[in-house]
Amino acid sequence: MRVVFTSLANEELDQATRYYDLEFEGLGQRFRQEVRNAAGRISQYPEAWSVEQGEIRKCLLHKFPYKLLYSIENDHILIIAVAHQHRKPDYWVERTGKPGNP
């Protein structure tokens, strides 16, 4: 299934990549590759990961403290956030546009 990142998720990916590159040369690209690998796993097995909230699922990255938050749509996977696991929990909820979410 095709994976689509929202513009905000893309922005988070870019910001984290820049941060890791400042920390250690090449680390940002390793982070970006880890995100690509996770997106590939989600594409193959979209229902394999646990539900974070409502219809939103989370896929934890293996080597970085980030998770991909996504929804399964009719014809694609929508990545809603590339979220750090220890900062601002639930900041992404308003992005879902689902009834009942703040």
Helix ranges, 1-102 (H): 7-23, 27-44
Give residue 99's pLDDT band: very low, low, confident or very high (50, 70, 90): very low
* Residue for token pair 């009719």: 74
Q: What is the CATH number of the domain that holds 13?
A: 3.30.2310.20
- Which range marks the domain in which residue 62 is found? 2-85
Q: Backbone phi, then psi, for 18, in 5-degree steps?
A: -60, -45
**Could you tell me if residue 22 is inside a domain?**
yes
pTM: 0.86
Percent of the chain scored above 90 by pLDDT? Answer: 81
Structure confidence by residue, pLDDT tens digits, 36-83: 999 999 999 999 999 999 999 999 999 999 999 999 999 999 999 999
Count: domains in the chain: 1
